[in-house]
Amino acid sequence: MCGIVGYIGKQKAAPLIIEGLKRLEYRGYDSAGVVVLEDGAFNVAKKIGRVANLEGEAARHHFHGTFGMGHTRWATHGGVTDANAHPHVSSDGQIALIHNGVIENYATIKKFLLGRGFTFKSETDTEVLCNLIAYHYAKEPPAAEGDSRFVESVRKALHHAEGTYGIVVMALAVPGELVTARKGSPLILGIGDGESLVASDVAAIVSRTQNVVYLKDGEIAHLRAKDFSITTVASGEAAAHVIDKVNWSIADAELGAYAHFMEKEIFEQPVALENAMRGRFAEDGSTAQFGGLNITANEFRGIERFMFCACGTALHACMVTEHLIERFARMPVECDYASEFRYRNTPLYRNTLFFVKSQSGETIDTLAALREAKRKGYKVLAVVNVVGSTIAREADGGIYQHVGPEVGVASTKAFTSQLLIGAMLALYIGRMRDLSFGDGVQIVNALKGAPDLVRRVLQQAPHIRAIARRYAHYTDMLFLGRLSLFPIALEGALKLKEISYIHAEGYPAAEMKHGPIALVSEKCPSVFLVPNGDIVNKIISSMQEIKARKGPVIAIASESVELPAGLADEVIRIPECHDAVLPIVAAVPVQLLSYYIAVERGCDVDKPRNLAKSVTVE
């Protein structure tokens, strides 16, 4: 979604801001802009398309000032045009604004402002908010000391704004100061050496400072190069804050020798899994332990059921966790799309423990589901990757994934670490109930072995790439799996369609007869997940049904599965493993297959069309 970067310091602002915007490119956007206050005027450059286009435009603007801000826009109100790109400047020329989010009552405010002589150049809700700030700025009496009317005018405008926002504001009369505020859209202050920054994502500023303050909803910050203050939007009272240290560096968010972030992150998975499990097994070697759940073992024993909510890939991880909790702990679990749960009015039983999973910790639907569950009085725990994110902060407790920044829009290492943490959670809950010490030890050992099994699958990358070359021209594909691999089939289909634009569907293998089999022909290959287990012969029967209808078959099968001759056109082998680890091991070939097919088709893998890394609008 949209990205924000602001800078005040001694360096030339525009190159720093543009560099920051490049680091936010992975979030998805369709235009970009920058403004620098210099020579007593706002120097604004904006351009549709990539940040590279903006860079070209910026060269013509001869930016030299040391104070400014930039934005990447993912269109919501108004089409993708230069005029609609941010920053916006108020029609009286006094205020410049960049904004993530949606101002829902923009039409009413616009009408009010049109009646007071303000004019508009764009179709955006952002320009409306910009003019509203200018309106209040013009009305606000100058303060005796400093220019507090800048902050006050932003605060007053926000009192009338309904919706979500992460904003950064500049005032022509107040060089060297930025005002920034948030409600539902993340903002992080960077506290540098004689310089201050603000961004929607740590990645944009971590090259300049690792000292950050995560702004909270309902807070407004006033930044200068050497100091900052935070107050509440509602009352203007001082708000307490802590300066956190980011625990990763810019090198973690760089491509290195890889062609794409997605490729890098697929290959990082063994290490990501090691990081996600580090220190999280109990000393007796039979269960997991988590530091931040904020729920006592006794409270946990009182829980009678679980509800999991998430979106997209993270929901697929929840579905696998559902399977494993049922299996290891024999407890009922329900999973739902966060976007549905928030409006469904699902009846929840009294002793339900609510979980959300989110890589970014900012997905608005997941956040809304969390808030809805909390409002109903339930305790909500979160599995989150991004430290300090809104979901991490609002949850009652949780588990950090610790896999470092995930830059590729298509989630990979965050997914497998969510699978791992889900398995550890199932083990933890199981061991509190009927799962024996011996079974617990077996699962712990299996999970500890997961990184090496993933390494073995990764060694097959050249083989999978060769298959991808043969299948890249198809326009439809089915992914079929059963039990804990059904969500992996869903994930395979999601990965393929989001990065290669091939229509793909994930289905439980046996369910395929009830509809999707109509799609099967020599033009529609099926990817089957075939682990060795109780129902392997049933899966093989489903493969035969596809083959009988001339559908090409790709089998991702355990090493010990004997496939009838000629049944599969392509075979990718995965190592034998425990059920707790199987979904992790099976996820890797579907990731690689989708990745190589997308590369083969010449797709922009890390920036797929229409998609955003973290979906902060509804």
Which residues contribute to the site for ligand F6R (CB under 6 A)? 311-314, 358-360, 363, 366, 410-411, 494, 498, 614-615
Choose between 179 and 310: whose C-beta lies nearer to ligand F6R.
310
Output phi, psi for 397, to 5 deg. Answer: 180, 180
CA-wise closest residue to 101 among 168, 35, 153, 42: 168
Could you tell me the smallest distance in angstroms from the CB atom of residue 583 to ligand F6R? 15
Closest residue to ligand F6R, Cβ-based? Answer: 312
Which residue has 């801000």 as its token pair?
Answer: 69
Choose between 465 and 497: whose C-beta lies nearer to ligand F6R.
497
Cβ contacts of 396 within 8 Å, gap of 6 or more: 294, 295, 374, 379, 380, 381
Cβ contacts of 343 within 8 Å, gap of 6 or more: none
Choose between 88 and 260: whose C-beta lies nearer to ligand F6R.
260
Choose between 258 and 300: whose C-beta lies nearer to ligand F6R.
258
Cβ contacts of 562 within 8 Å, gap of 6 or more: none
Choose between 137 and 400: whose C-beta lies nearer to ligand F6R.
400
Give the 3-state secondary structure of residue 90. Answer: coil
What single-letter DSSP state applies at residue 595?
Answer: H
Could you tell me the smallest distance in angstroms from the CB atom of residue 317 to ligand F6R? 9
Could you tell me the smallest distance in angstroms from the CB atom of residue 213 to ligand F6R? 22
Choose between 373 and 615: whose C-beta lies nearer to ligand F6R.
615
Quick one: residue 292, left, alpha or beta (phi over 0 = left, psi -120 to 50 = alpha)?
alpha
What single-letter DSSP state applies at residue 134?
Answer: H
Contact yes or no for 215/180 (Cβ under 8 A): yes
Choose between 287 and 594: whose C-beta lies nearer to ligand F6R.
594
Catalytic residue among 2, 130, 309, 335: 2
Beta strands at 380-384 and 352-358: parallel, antiparallel or unpaired:
parallel
Choose between 90 and 385: whose C-beta lies nearer to ligand F6R.
385
What single-letter DSSP state applies at residue 267?
Answer: H
Could you tell me the smallest distance in angstroms from the CB atom of residue 426 to ligand F6R? 20
Give the 3-state secondary structure of residue 353. Answer: strand
Could you tell me the smallest distance in angstroms from the CB atom of residue 365 to ligand F6R? 8
Cα separation, 507 vs 510, in Å, equals 8
Choose between 367 and 582: whose C-beta lies nearer to ligand F6R.
367
Query: Is residue 311 among the annotated active site residues?
Result: no
Residue by residue, DSSP assigns 133-200 as: HHHHHHHSPPPSSTTHHHHHHHHHHHHT--B-EEEEEEETTSTT-EEEEEEBS--EEEE-SS-EEEES
Length of the chain: 618
- Helices 413-432 and 582-600 meet at what angle, rounded to 10? 170
CA distances from 23 to 272, 336, 419 (A): 21, 32, 27
CA distances from 582 to 98, 272, 412, 454, 576 (A): 46, 17, 16, 10, 8
Which residue(s) pair with 528 in the sheet? Answer: 480, 555
Choose between 210 and 313: whose C-beta lies nearer to ligand F6R.
313
Q: Which two tokens stand for residue 483?
A: 């039990």
Could you tell me the smallest distance in angstroms from the CB atom of residue 412 to ligand F6R? 8
Could you tell me the smallest distance in angstroms from the CB atom of residue 338 to ligand F6R? 8
Choose between 54 and 488: whose C-beta lies nearer to ligand F6R.
488
CA-wise closest residue to 223 among 245, 182, 185, 191: 191
Catalytic residue among 110, 183, 607, 613: 613
Cα separation, 320 vs 582, in Å, equals 10
Query: Is residue 183 among the annotated active site residues?
Result: no
Cβ contacts of 319 within 8 Å, gap of 6 or more: 335, 486, 487, 490
Which residue has 């020599």 as its token pair?
Answer: 522
Cβ contacts of 512 within 8 Å, gap of 6 or more: 478, 480, 526, 542, 545, 546
Which residue(s) pair with 197 in the sheet? Answer: 7, 190
Residue by residue, DSSP assigns 364-432 as: HHHHHHHHHHHHTT--EEEEESSTT-HHHHHSSEEEE-------SSS--HHHHHHHHHHHHHHHHHHHH
Could you tell me the smallest distance in angstroms from the CB atom of residue 490 to ligand F6R? 11
Could you tell me the smallest distance in angstroms from the CB atom of residue 359 to ligand F6R? 3
What single-letter DSSP state applies at residue 281?
Answer: B
Could you tell me the smallest distance in angstroms from the CB atom of residue 453 to ligand F6R? 22
Cα separation, 520 vs 550, in Å, equals 8
Catalytic residue annotation: 2, 613
